Homo-oligomer: A and B are copies of this chain.
Amino acid sequence: MYDELKVPPRILLGPGPTIANPRVLKAMTTPMLGYLDADFVDIMDDTVALLRQVFGTQNSLTFPVSGTGTSGMETALINVIEPGDHVIVGINGYFGGRIAEIAERCGGVVTPVHGDWGDIIEPDQIAEACNKVSPKLVAVVHGETSTGILQPLEKIIEIAHQNDALFLADCVTTLGGQPVSLDARGIDIAYSCTQKCLAGPPGLSPISFSDRAVEVIRNRKTKIQSFYMDVTLLEEYWMGDTRKYHHTLSMTLVYALREALRIVVEEGEETRYERHEHNARALIAGAEAIGLEPAASENHRLPMLTTLRIPNGVDDATVRKRLIQDYNIEIGGGLGIFAGKAWRIGLMGDAANEQYVLLVLNAIEKLLGEVGHSVEPGTAVRAAAAVYQNS
């Protein structure tokens, strides 16, 4: 009735999941262990140590939440926000909006700071909002996957701290592909995912809280409204001496995350970040050569996720469908106000490489030619090739 699982060999160049590294897939065939087995606790400890390294932090409370990136977002907010707390949220894309939505469900009073889609949140806007309300938390998205913006953080962090607020950065898209540097920057709370620049399967959300954030959580007046996401309980399991049972962690996903992080550290973080930047430059050079304009402002483009404006008269869905049918390539459609207006090309983890950049550019060039946007064949790959040869 139900056949053996078979899937097409997709080249995943969307907003995530990316292609999982084969070593990560292999790690997931490792047999189960008990959730308190001493051998498994060692694997948990390795994973925490590796996460601290890639997050750039010595934060004690650093571990993966047992859920996807959105569960990390909710865990971050639900532990810190109490009913009536003021929260300033930068919203210049879909995921900033999601932070605001969840903060409100936690009882927070949100002051949104809106920015244009495809542009950054300006520090002055945050400063202005801080003058109006006394925020407990200031939150922005480091890499906004819906628009392709890499948000500069330093000045906003300074403003948040001057106002005695905690600072939260959504690092779902950036961790493992760009420096997040929690301690050097002074980020109090950050969370991410496993299926983007870490090149693992989805299912866990690495998270980290500074000691200052932990102090705020310990001084709450109200009970945390979630048991599953209560970090005071999760801490006892992940780093307590007693390793007190809280839930049955997915050893499979922890095996995968440990292996994914091992690969990041083996490549070297700086090398990996530069690889993401380099391939993004080549992709953009090729795209611009065939008239596809990046939708993100020039100095703030997210290397691992490039948004490109869809030319007038070109049907979004048709092109993406043909990319899948003819090339087995998945790219992302637009989210929110970019729906139908922009494509999102992700070069994340292993997928940030020359072969996929050349392939996707040539495929898009060909498909655009079929709907009246012809250029001399090879225009896109030639422009990208120049970037690769000049490096």
Contacts and interface: CB of A to CB of B under 8 A. Distances in A.
Interface of A: 1-2, 5, 7-10, 12, 14, 16-20, 25-35, 37, 39-40, 43, 46, 50, 66-71, 73-74, 78, 98, 101-102, 105-106, 193, 195, 201-203, 223-228, 245-253, 255-256, 258-259, 262, 265, 324, 330, 335
B31 A202 contact: no
Contacts of A98: 227
B67 A105 contact: no
Contacts of A247: 68-71
A268 B102 CA distance: 43
Contacts of A31: 7, 9-10, 19-20, 25
Contacts of A101: 227
Contacts of A106: 225
B34 A2 contact: no
Given A202-B251, A251-B202, A330-B34, A258 B7 contact: no
Contact of A8 (B39, B74, B252): B39
A18 B35 CA distance: 11
A5 B259 contact: yes
Contact of A5 (B18, B71, B258): B258
Contacts of A50: 2
B224 A105 contact: yes
Contacts of A255: 5
Contacts of A228: 67, 70-71, 73-74, 102
Contacts of A12: 32-34
A5 B29 CA distance: 11
Contact of A71 (B17, B19, B66, B256): B66
Given A102-B227, A224-B105, A29 B39 contact: no
A4 B36 CA distance: 20
Nearest to A1: B265
Contacts of A1: 265
A222 to B, nearest CB: 10
A74 B32 contact: no
A25 B255 CA distance: 12
A71 B248 CA distance: 10
A265 to B, nearest CB: 7
A25 B5 CA distance: 12
A226 B74 contact: yes
A203 B253 contact: yes
16 contacts: A5-B27, A10-B31, A12-B32, A16-B248, A18-B32, A25-B28, A25-B29, A67-B67, A70-B228, A105-B223, A106-B225, A202-B248, A202-B252, A225-B225, A225-B226, A252-B252
A250 B68 contact: yes
A259 B252 CA distance: 15
Nearest to A230: B105
A50 B16 CA distance: 27
A108 to B, nearest CB: 12
Given A70-B228, A226-B226, 11 more contacts: A1-B265, A2-B258, A5-B255, A7-B39, A26-B29, A28-B28, A28-B29, A32-B195, A32-B201, A70-B227, A201-B253
